[in-house]
A and B are shown apart, each in its own frame.
Chain A
Amino acid sequence: MAQLSVPTVDYTQYSNRQLVAVPLALLAVALLVIGGWYLLTGAPANLGLEFVGGSEIRIDDPGDNAAQQIETAFSAQPDSVRQIAADDTYILTFSEGAVDTPDGGNQLSVLEQQAEAAGFSIQASSSVSPSFGANTQTIALGGVLVAFLGMSVLVFVMFRSIAPSVAVIASAFSDVVLPLAMMNLLGINLSLGTVAALLMLIGYSVDSDILLNNSILRESGDFYESTSRAMRTGVTMTLTSIAAMAVMTVAAYLFGIQIMTAIGIVLVVGLLADLMNTYLLNVSLLRWYVNRGVNA
């Protein structure tokens, strides 16, 4: 059987500055990407159908010449066409207003009629109105902020000192920001599933940080001993989660289950970011905190 052993890092070789440099640099790049996205597109990420409105329709594989058949069937060009090999279907998305609707009719209803007229059978369809989408945006943003604040307060109450709490919160912040920037770069749309995953990440990612803080601040042993003990446990559990999520992401992508793909991919990237943030950023902040009397 394959053997999984958690590597030990010799932290004594690196100064706090060196350790902090990598995660902070990546965080800065991520913030630049998100900021740039906001300046260029007016939104911090590629907003998906659920946030800007639009229609989506999943049809059975039309057989030969699918691309051409799809093009002739609909009166508007789809924004995206994705083939789901696992069950021979195609998922098409249309932005809101892409199709002329007679006297205020529903865009998706028109698209469904066109699909049926072309002989496609409709496997699934959904529509979101732009006003509902805009509302969802506000709520999602509010939800993430509330969750983050709640987490911060809880961490402060639990540790009752500033530096360790800040270490956990900074690391959680970076865990959320890095996957967001990564999604922009990979061209993945922000959907409701992503928001759920970002919230989940706030909860998921802090446990390795809390474990580390707890081990260093509350248990016996010197700093490096405690760190490597926490790391053994923390890396194992994060890797386990990453493995589970990676499998879910790949399988859900192949089956064309979008909500699971979205949740999975954000958690994978976020947990990878968490490995880095916990064992570079958080460790060095704690080392500074523990040794602050020595160097002063």
Chain B
Amino acid sequence: MIEKLKSNWRLTLLTVILLVSLFMIFSPTMAPQTNVGGENATTGDRLTNLQYGLDLAGGTRIRAPLIGMTAENVVIGNESPTNVAAAVANELPNSDTTDVTVRRGTINGPTVEAVDPNVSEAQFGEALGGAGYSYETIRDGLTQETRDEAINVIEGKVNQAGLSGASVQQVTDGTGFFILIEVPGQDRSDVIDLIEQRGNVRIDIYHDNNGDGEYVTERAVLTQDDFASISNARQPDDRSPNPRVPVSIRQENSIAETFQSSVVETGVAQPGGAVCRYEESPQNTDSCLQLVVDGDVINSFGMNGDLANSMRTGDWARSPSFVLTTTSFEEAQEIAINLRAGALPAPLAIDQGTTSFVSPTQGENFRTDSLIIGILAILTVSGVVFARYREPQVAAPMVLTAFSEVLILLGFAAYLGYPLDLSVIASFIAVLGTGVDDLVIIADGVMAEGDVSSNRVFSSRFKKAFWVIGVAAATTVIAMSPLAVLSLGDLRGFAIFTILGVLVGVFVTRPAYGDILRNLLTKR
């Protein structure tokens, strides 16, 4: 028995690998770990451990670049990054410090990034010069650090919004970097709404405190980092007629105190409180707090008398809680998500990338459809092979061997947790095709010129046939490798699984078929 297993070691190996693959596919102990989105990832099914991609499960995929440019090796001496950013932003038209990022210690020395899409490379260069910083080059694109930060922020937003099973990663097409966001089961427009804003939340004060009739805006009295805790968005109720987000302000570095005194000085916290009429008559209103997201005023509101009094006495800063009111509950939810996840360090240019959406029902249809196509392909191949050889003991193992390649690939997919999509299924069919091709070469090569009397004759013929297969496989691997490396849209899966299939074929299944043939032929 052992002897037999040994002399047929290729066949034994195939059997073992097949069993492992089936274990990977079906065993509940190998069930997939949950994804970035946490709890119940909905992309798999219950019968197998296979993960389905968006084509087959439904969902939204967005691939978009981050907008911005980077000045490298900027000479900033010992200045603090915050000061440098402020100085450069000051020289740029309509830019805030949130549009300028300064980093030390990147691989290209100190860098300054500008992310306002309306700023040209020349303007950025002039601004750096104007602020007194020399630099080596300005290039399109951002630093890896900024891209990582953007990925974290998007993951945060997706998680805060409760979308499970989502994944956010960076991909490259060789010329630039893109952020790839995949959210199962979610509509395209919902995902776009969630991520298209940078989500820079700040509070401005709109006031005419010196009484000359000219209203001014004091910008950014509170910014993203000044919030200590953010509660969930609340619906309007009897305590307040508006949807709102309760927040509290940080006390360290006297952030709360500074805010308190600004509010008092600008007259928002005037005795008895302030009533904001910014919407109706901006030239005739008490001072207003304004909630600003990405430079757009979302809502303007005043302050009630109690809060105003506690600010005036200075009590408020000792327990600085506060309520941001909005005009709709959706807005309140967005604000809460933006405050918690933070702002994107650079805008995501969705209209410079690609988006795709497949509805869950369509995904289910594609799943059945591709199963039918796969079965049809196997039947066709079997039909041709049986018609050609007319000997079931040659043809049947051929079909089974080719099919086992597909099973092993499925096992790989289950093991890697690689999401199956249409292009991966197409690669299975392509592998089935090349697999059978090579088995035909082996069968014909070994059976040519009459009987195979001895193991020695068999081996020499098998080796000859195998040379052809090896070269053909190497060509396929070389031809597909550009696709596997470059992120050409959705074709990476096709390339990766075709290459895997060819390798499995050459090293495992096709030699095993040789063993089967040898047993059949040398016995006669």
Tell whether A and B belong to one assembly. Answer: yes
Chain A residues engaging chain B, CB cutoff 8 angstroms: 1-4, 50, 58, 86-87, 89, 104, 106, 108-109, 112, 121-129, 131-132, 135-136, 138-140, 142-144, 146-148, 150-151, 154-155, 158, 192-193, 195-196, 199-200, 202-204, 206-207, 210-211, 214, 218-219, 229, 232-233, 236-241, 243-248, 251-252, 255, 257, 259-260, 263, 267
With A125-B356, A139-B488, A199-B480 known as contacts, the answer to whether A240 contacts B433 (CB < 8 A) is: yes
B352 contacts the other chain (CB 8 A): yes
**Closest approach, in angstroms, between the C-beta of B107 and any C-beta of chain A?**
25
B423, A155: Cβ atoms under 8 Å? no
**Chain A residues within an 8 Å CB radius of B282:** none
* Cβ distance A118 to chain B, nearest Cβ, rounded Å: 16
Bound Cα distance A139, B38 (Å): 35
* B474 pairs with A154, CB closer than 8 A: yes
Known contacts A147-B478, A196-B495, A239-B384, A109 near B192 by CB under 8 Å: yes
Closest Cβ–Cβ distance, residue A105 to chain B (whole Å): 8
Contacts of B369 in A (CB 8 A): 86-87, 251-252, 255, 257
Contact across chains for B482 and A199 when beta carbons are under 8 A apart: yes
Q: A126-B357, A150-B478, A248-B377 are in contact. Are A4 and B362 (CB under 8 A)?
A: no
Please, which residue of chain B has its CB at the minimum distance from the CB of A172? B475
Asked if residues B478 and A151 are in contact (CB atoms below 8 Å), the reply is yes
B-chain residues with CB within 8 Å of residue A210 when the two chains form the complex: 468, 471-472, 475
Binary contact track B412-436/A, C-beta < 8 Å → 1, others 0: 0000000000110110011011101
| CB-based contact A244/B432 at 8 Å | yes
26 contacts between A and B (CB under 8 A): A1-B387, A3-B390, A87-B369, A112-B189, A124-B356, A125-B357, A127-B355, A132-B63, A135-B176, A139-B486, A143-B486, A147-B479, A151-B479, A196-B426, A203-B434, A203-B479, A233-B441, A236-B388, A240-B437, A244-B377, A244-B432, A244-B436, A247-B380, A251-B372, A255-B365, A257-B422
Find out whether the CB atom of A192 lies under 8 angstroms from the CB atom of B359. no
Complex-state Cα separation, A251 to B370, whole angstroms: 9
Q: Is the CB of B475 within 8 A of A155?
A: yes
Whether B440 lies near A237 (C-beta < 8 A) is yes
**CB of A111 to closest CB in B, whole Å:** 11
Give chain A's interface secondary structure class.
Answer: helix
Pick the residue among A50, A146, A154, A263 that contacts B489 (CB under 8 A): A50
> When the two chains form their complex, are residues B476 and A203 in contact, meaning their CB atoms are under 8 A apart?
yes
Q: Which chain B residues border A151 with CB–CB below 8 Å?
A: 475, 478-479
| Residues of chain B at interface, number, CB under 8 A | 79
Q: How far is the CB of A179 from chain B (nearest CB, A)?
A: 15
Q: Which residues of A contact B355 (CB under 8 A)?
A: 106, 108, 125-127
- The answer to whether B358 has its CB under 8 Å from any CB of chain A is yes
Residues of the B chain whose Cβ atoms lie less than 8 Å from the Cβ of A206? 472, 475
Closest A residue, CB atoms, query B361? A123
8 Å CB interface, B488-505 against A: 488-491, 494-495, 498, 502
Which B residues are CB-close (under 8 A) to A136?
173, 488-489
- Judging by beta carbons under 8 Å apart, are B475 and A203 in contact? yes
List of 5 A-B pairs having minimum Cβ-Cβ separation, nearest first: A203-B476, A207-B472, A126-B356, A143-B482, A237-B437
Taking A123-B362, A237-B440, A260-B422 as contacts, is the C-beta distance between A192 and B475 under 8 angstroms? no
How far apart are the CA atoms of A147 and B481 in the complex, in Å?
8
Give the residues from 366 to 386 in chain B that come closer than 8 angstroms, CB to CB, to chain A. 366, 369-370, 372-373, 376-377, 380-381, 383-386
A153 to B411, CA, bound (A): 33
Q: In the bound complex, do residue A154 and residue B475 qualify as a contact, i.e. CB atoms below 8 Å apart?
A: yes
Q: Is the CB of B357 within 8 A of A147?
A: no
Total A-B residue pairs with C-beta atoms closer than 8 Å? 250
A143 and B174 CA atoms in complex are apart in Å by: 11
- Of A123, A238, A260, which one neighbours B426 at CB under 8 angstroms? A260
Interface set, chain B 19-76, CB cutoff 8 A to A: 63
Cα(A253)–Cα(B426), bound, Å:
13
Q: Select from chain B the residue with minimum beta-carbon distance to A55.
A: B355
Residues in A neighbouring B294, C-beta threshold 8 A:
none
A259 touches B437 (CB 8 A): no
With a cutoff of 8 Å between Cβ atoms, the chain B residues found around residue A267 in the complex are: 430, 433
CB distance from B460 to the nearest CB of A (A): 11
Contact A241-B436, Cβ < 8 Å, known A136-B489, A257-B422: yes
* Residues of chain B lying within 8 A (CB to CB) of residue A255: 365-366, 369, 372-373
Contact of A243 with B356 in the complex, beta carbons under 8 Å: no
Find residues 426-465 in chain B having any chain A CB closer than 8 Å to their own CB: 426, 429-430, 432-434, 436-438, 440-441, 444-445, 448, 464
Most-contacted residue by chain B among A4, A135, A210, A237 (CB, 10 A): A237
B486 touches A236 (CB 8 A): no
In the complex, chain B residues whose CB is within 8 Å of the CB of A257: 366, 369-370, 373, 422
Contacts of A128 in B (CB 8 A): 354
In angstroms, Cα B174 to Cα A109, docked, is 28
Contact indicator A203/B472 (Cβ below 8 Å) = yes
Taking CB atoms, residues of chain B closer than 8 Å to A123 are 358-359, 361-362
Chain B 155-189 residues near chain A, CB threshold 8 A: 173-176, 188-189
Contact in complex: A232, B173 (CB < 8 Å) = no
Instruction: Provide the residues of chain A in CB contact with B475, threshold 8 Å.
Output: 151, 154-155, 202-203, 206-207, 210
Best-surrounded residue of A236, A252, A263 (most CB of chain B within 10 A): A236
**Nearest opposing residue in chain A for B464, CB measure:** A219
Chain B nearest CB, measured from A226 CB (Å): 11
Q: Report Cα–Cα, A146/B362, bound state, in Å.
A: 36
A146 pairs with B482, CB closer than 8 A: yes
* Contacts known (A131-B352, A244-B429); A147 close to B445, Cβ less than 8 A: no
* Additional 18 contacts, C-beta under 8 A, given A87-B369, A241-B436, A267-B433: A1-B387, A50-B489, A108-B188, A112-B188, A112-B189, A123-B361, A126-B354, A132-B353, A155-B475, A193-B426, A195-B488, A195-B491, A196-B494, A214-B468, A244-B433, A251-B376, A255-B373, A263-B494
Contact digits for B242-286, partner A, Cβ 8 Å, 1 yes 0 no:
000000000000000000000000000000000000000000000
B362:A58 contact, CB within 8 angstroms: yes
Determine the residue in chain B with the shortest Cβ distance to A262: B426
* Contact, CB under 8 Å: A243 / B383: yes
Is A229's CB under 8 angstroms from B448's CB? yes
Q: Give, as a whole number of angstroms, the nearest-CB distance from B441 to chain A.
A: 6
Which residues of B (326-382) have their CB < 8 Å from a CB of A? 350-359, 361-362, 365-366, 369-370, 372-373, 376-377, 380-381
Known: A1-B390, A108-B188, A112-B188. A247 touches B376 (CB 8 A): yes
Are B445 and A233 in contact, with the CB atoms below 8 A?
A: yes
